[in-house]
Copies of this chain bind each other. A is one copy, B any other.
C-alpha cells in the first residue's frame, strides 16, 4: 500500500474548471451503465470554475468500434449541473466522458452587455473583446472566418452591435480558444442492448405439459402448437425450463418426493443423463429439428425463445465421467452433492469453479451458450447465477456479447440485495426481483422507488414475476382471481419487463403443496400436468388486454420515468410513466386489496404527467374503456376487486385522446363518480 509522502512537492497546473459528479456512473466507472438502441441516453455533470466566469461543457461519446469522438454541447440545467443526450443507434459498448472549459467570450460578452445597459463607457472593454475574436480568427475555417474578422473590426471601431449577435456567439463557441480543456478523470461506458432487453413480456411454460393427451409426454411439437395461444395474449418472449436429458440417480418424484416411481419424469433442473448434458435435448421432447421448428414457429408468431441455463449436473451428466476434475471430491472419494446443511440435494452435483482446470471449465460453459446461440436462441434465463463466481459471469457475458451483441441475459438470483445488484452491474440485462414478496402498496412503492432511482436504475433492469414454478406466494394462495388480476397489472405496469409462469397463472392455480409452503401442489417441476386452457375463469383476456396496452403505450416500456402519486387510501397504489421525453403519460390507479371495494382521493403530481397546474384534462381507462374529465391534482377514484383490478389511464388534454378501438363497456361496479372539488 502506497501512501502519499509528506513533504513531497505537490504537482500544480493552471486548470480552472472542475468536472465532477458525472452520471450515469456505476461505482466510479468500474461497471458500464445500461442503455438500449433508440433510448435517449442522458448524461449530466457538475461543471464549474472559480470566480464568476462562465463555463462551457460538452459530452464526448464514441460508439463501439468507432475511431472518432462525437462532441455534444451540454446545457446548464441549474445548480452548476449540465446535461446532454445521445440516442445510441447500435449495439455494443459505448464510451463517454465530459469536458469543460472557461468560456471567455461569453463571460466577456455578458459582462459588457451589463455595462452597456448601465450606460457605462465600454470602449476599452470592446478592445478586449476584439482581441478574443481576433484570436478565434486564426483558428476558424470556412465562412465563419469572415464573420469573425468583421466582428473584430466592428469592436475595434467601438460598435456594440455584435455583442447581441448570437450567430457570432455561436461561431465563437466553435472557434474560440478553449485551452486548457478539463476532461473528467474517467472514460465511462454504457452497454447498449436491443430494445427487448429493456421492454419485454415473458411467458414460461413446461413443454412436457403441452401434450393434448394426459398420458403422453409433451414434445417440442406440442409446445409449438401452444404458441398461437401464447401469442394471442401478446407476449414477446416464450421461455422454456431446461429441455435437456434428466438424470435418474436420486431423481425426485412428484411433489419433490425422494421416492421416485418408474415413469416419473424428474425435474428438468436435474440436468444430464446417458443421452447427454447441456447441449442435448431430452429424447421425449424431440430432436434438434423439432427445436428449430419451435424457434421458427415462435418467430412467426412474434415471439422470441428464451432458454434456461442452469449450470449444475445430475450424477448422470456426461461431464461427471468426462471431466471429474470439474466437481468437488471428498476425502472418501465421492463427489460432493449440493447441500444447504442440514438439507441435502443428492440429485445435484454443483460445479466446482475452484477446479484447477477452471479455464477449460469456463470455456465449456461459454460453449453451452454458443451452442444454443447457433441454434437461434438470443435470450437466456440464467438459473441461480449467484452460486457461481461473479468474475465468471462478467467474463462470460462480455465474451458472448462481443461475439453476439444482441444476446439478452436474465439473472434468476433470489438472494441478498447487494448480490443481486452485483450480478446486474457485471452485465446481466435483466434481473428477477422481490416483486413477488411485496404484497402491499407501500412496500411496492418503496421497492420500485429504489429500483427506478439512482444508482440502481443505471445498472439494474427489473423483471417482475407474479409467480414462478418455485414461487406461489401466500397472497396468491389466499386471494384467488382478484389478487391474480391485481398482481398481473402491477407487474406489467410497474416494470418494463415482466413475466408469468403459465398456464398456472392465467388458470389461477393457487394450491400449495402444504400450508406455509410457496411450492405448488403437484408442481410441474416434478410431474407432467394437463391444463384446460379454455376454462371460464382464465385470465387470458385480461392478460391480452394488458399486453396490448403495453405495446400501444411506449411509456410502459421505461422504468426511469416511474413516479408515485399519493393516495389517501394506502390500499390504492397510484403511479405514472412517460417516455423519456415526457410523452405518452400513463397513469395507473391500482387496487391492492383483493377483498373489499376501495375508494380514495389521489393527489397527482401534474408536472410528472406533463400537465399545467390547474389544468383540465381527460383520463381514458385503457383497461375499462371509460373516460373522465379531471381538473387539478385531487381526484376521486374507486375500485372493486371483483371488477377491474386497476385503472390504466391514458392522460391528455380533453379531446386529444383517441377513443379505444375495442374498449369494453365499463362494468357497473367499476363506475367512478364524477370528480368533485375538495374544499
What separation, in Å, do the CA atoms of A94 and B3 have in the docked complex? 7
- Contact among B10, B399, B416 for A399, CB-based, below 8 A: B10
What separation, in Å, do the CA atoms of A79 and B419 have in the docked complex? 10
Instruction: Give the chain B neighbours of A7 by CB distance below 8 A.
Output: 402-403
- Is A636 part of the binding interface, using a Cβ–Cβ cutoff of 8 Å? no
**Is the pair A418, B48 in contact by a Cβ cutoff of 8 Å?**
yes
- Is A143 part of the binding interface, using a Cβ–Cβ cutoff of 8 Å? no
- Is A28 part of the binding interface, using a Cβ–Cβ cutoff of 8 Å? yes
**Is the pair A189, B4 in contact by a Cβ cutoff of 8 Å?**
yes
**Is the pair A342, B2 in contact by a Cβ cutoff of 8 Å?**
no
Q: Which residue of B lies closest to A93 (CB)?
A: B4
**Max chain B C-beta neighbours (<10 A), residue from A2, A12, A49, A339:** A12
> Smallest distance from the beta carbon of A623 to chain B beta carbons, Å?
38
**Is the pair A14, B354 in contact by a Cβ cutoff of 8 Å?**
yes
Q: Per-residue 0/1 for A114-133: is the Cβ within 8 Å of any B Cβ (1 yes, 0 no)? A: 11011010001001100100
> Smallest distance from the beta carbon of A222 to chain B beta carbons, Å?
37
**Is the pair B111, A341 in contact by a Cβ cutoff of 8 Å?**
yes
Instruction: Give the chain B neighbours of A52 by CB distance below 8 A.
Output: 340, 387
**Is the pair A398, B354 in contact by a Cβ cutoff of 8 Å?**
no
- Is A330 part of the binding interface, using a Cβ–Cβ cutoff of 8 Å? yes
- Is A65 part of the binding interface, using a Cβ–Cβ cutoff of 8 Å? yes
Instruction: Give the chain B neighbours of A388 by CB distance below 8 A.
Output: 50-51
- Contact among B6, B12, B28 for A391, CB-based, below 8 A: B12
Among listed A15-23, A246-254, A428-436, A540-548, interface-contacting one: A15-23
- Contact among B2, B79, B117 for A418, CB-based, below 8 A: B79
Q: Per-residue 0/1 for A322-363: is the Cβ within 8 Å of any B Cβ (1 yes, 0 no)? A: 000000001110100001111000000000011000110010
- Is A185 part of the binding interface, using a Cβ–Cβ cutoff of 8 Å? yes
**Is the pair A14, B389 in contact by a Cβ cutoff of 8 Å?**
yes
- Is A517 part of the binding interface, using a Cβ–Cβ cutoff of 8 Å? no
Q: Which residue of B lies closest to A395 (CB)?
A: B12
Query: How many copies of this chain?
Result: 2
- Is A672 part of the binding interface, using a Cβ–Cβ cutoff of 8 Å? no
Instruction: Give the chain B neighbours of A20 by CB distance below 8 A.
Output: 27, 30, 422
Instruction: Give the chain B neighbours of A189 by CB distance below 8 A.
Output: 3-4
Instruction: Give the chain B neighbours of A8 by CB distance below 8 A.
Output: 402
What separation, in Å, do the CA atoms of A46 and B111 have in the docked complex? 50
- Is A568 part of the binding interface, using a Cβ–Cβ cutoff of 8 Å? no
**Is the pair B405, A6 in contact by a Cβ cutoff of 8 Å?**
yes
Q: Which residue of B lies closest to A111 (CB)?
A: B341
**Is the pair A386, B330 in contact by a Cβ cutoff of 8 Å?**
no
What separation, in Å, do the CA atoms of A459 and B479 have in the docked complex? 52
What separation, in Å, do the CA atoms of A456 and B330 have in the docked complex? 52
**Is the pair A12, B362 in contact by a Cβ cutoff of 8 Å?**
yes
- Is A41 part of the binding interface, using a Cβ–Cβ cutoff of 8 Å? no
**Is the pair B416, A80 in contact by a Cβ cutoff of 8 Å?**
yes
- Is A92 part of the binding interface, using a Cβ–Cβ cutoff of 8 Å? yes
- Is A321 part of the binding interface, using a Cβ–Cβ cutoff of 8 Å? no
What separation, in Å, do the CA atoms of A388 and B52 have in the docked complex? 10
Q: Per-residue 0/1 for A17-53: is the Cβ within 8 Å of any B Cβ (1 yes, 0 no)? A: 0101100000111100000000000000010111110
**Is the pair B111, A332 in contact by a Cβ cutoff of 8 Å?**
no
- Contact among B1, B389, B392 for A69, CB-based, below 8 A: B1
- Contact among B6, B16, B128, B395 for A331, CB-based, below 8 A: B128
Instruction: Give the chain B neighbours of A60 by CB distance below 8 A.
Output: 1
Interface residues of A in 432-457 (CB under 8 A from B): none
What separation, in Å, do the CA atoms of A300 and B206 have in the docked complex? 86
- Is A493 part of the binding interface, using a Cβ–Cβ cutoff of 8 Å? no
- Is A5 part of the binding interface, using a Cβ–Cβ cutoff of 8 Å? yes
- Is A675 part of the binding interface, using a Cβ–Cβ cutoff of 8 Å? no
**Is the pair A115, B3 in contact by a Cβ cutoff of 8 Å?**
no
Given A80-B416, A362-B12, A402-B6: A389 in contact with B331 (beta carbons within 8 A): no
**Is the pair B62, A416 in contact by a Cβ cutoff of 8 Å?**
no
Given A187-B1, A342-B114, A342-B115: A13 in contact with B391 (beta carbons within 8 A): yes
Given A14-B358, A79-B418, A187-B1: A124 in contact with B332 (beta carbons within 8 A): yes
- Is A678 part of the binding interface, using a Cβ–Cβ cutoff of 8 Å? no
- Is A141 part of the binding interface, using a Cβ–Cβ cutoff of 8 Å? no
- Is A654 part of the binding interface, using a Cβ–Cβ cutoff of 8 Å? no
- Is A112 part of the binding interface, using a Cβ–Cβ cutoff of 8 Å? yes
What separation, in Å, do the CA atoms of A517 and B670 have in the docked complex? 60
What separation, in Å, do the CA atoms of A603 and B368 have in the docked complex? 60
- Is A414 part of the binding interface, using a Cβ–Cβ cutoff of 8 Å? no
- Is A659 part of the binding interface, using a Cβ–Cβ cutoff of 8 Å? no
Interface residues of A in 605-625 (CB under 8 A from B): none
**Is the pair B93, A16 in contact by a Cβ cutoff of 8 Å?**
no
Instruction: Give the chain B neighbours of A579 by CB distance below 8 A.
Output: none
> Smallest distance from the beta carbon of A316 to chain B beta carbons, Å?
22
- Is A233 part of the binding interface, using a Cβ–Cβ cutoff of 8 Å? no
**Is the pair A4, B95 in contact by a Cβ cutoff of 8 Å?**
yes
What separation, in Å, do the CA atoms of A392 and B65 have in the docked complex? 39
- Is A64 part of the binding interface, using a Cβ–Cβ cutoff of 8 Å? yes
- Contact among B3, B330, B387 for A124, CB-based, below 8 A: B330
- Contact among B3, B359, B399 for A62, CB-based, below 8 A: B3
Q: Per-residue 0/1 for A374-389: is the Cβ within 8 Å of any B Cβ (1 yes, 0 no)? A: 0000000000001111
**Is the pair B95, A2 in contact by a Cβ cutoff of 8 Å?**
yes
What separation, in Å, do the CA atoms of A142 and B284 have in the docked complex? 64
What separation, in Å, do the CA atoms of A646 and B65 have in the docked complex? 66
What separation, in Å, do the CA atoms of A11 and B396 have in the docked complex? 10
- Pairs A–B under 8 Å by Cβ, sample size 22: A1-B97, A3-B66, A6-B65, A9-B399, A10-B394, A11-B395, A14-B354, A15-B391, A16-B353, A16-B391, A18-B422, A20-B30, A20-B422, A48-B418, A50-B386, A50-B387, A50-B390, A51-B386, A79-B417, A112-B341, A128-B330, A131-B331
- Chain A contacts to B: CB under 8 angstroms: 1-16, 18, 20-21, 27-30, 46, 48-52, 60, 62-66, 69, 79-80, 92-95, 97, 111-112, 114-115, 117-118, 120, 124, 127-128, 131, 185, 187, 189, 330-332, 334, 339-342, 353-354, 358-359, 362, 386-392, 394-395, 398-399, 402-403, 405, 416-419, 422
Other than A6-B92, A48-B418, give 14 A-B pairs with Cβ distance below 8 A: A1-B62, A1-B95, A4-B93, A12-B359, A12-B395, A20-B27, A20-B422, A28-B28, A28-B29, A50-B390, A51-B388, A111-B339, A117-B342, A124-B332
CB-based closest 3 A-B pairs: A118-B342, A28-B28, A3-B95
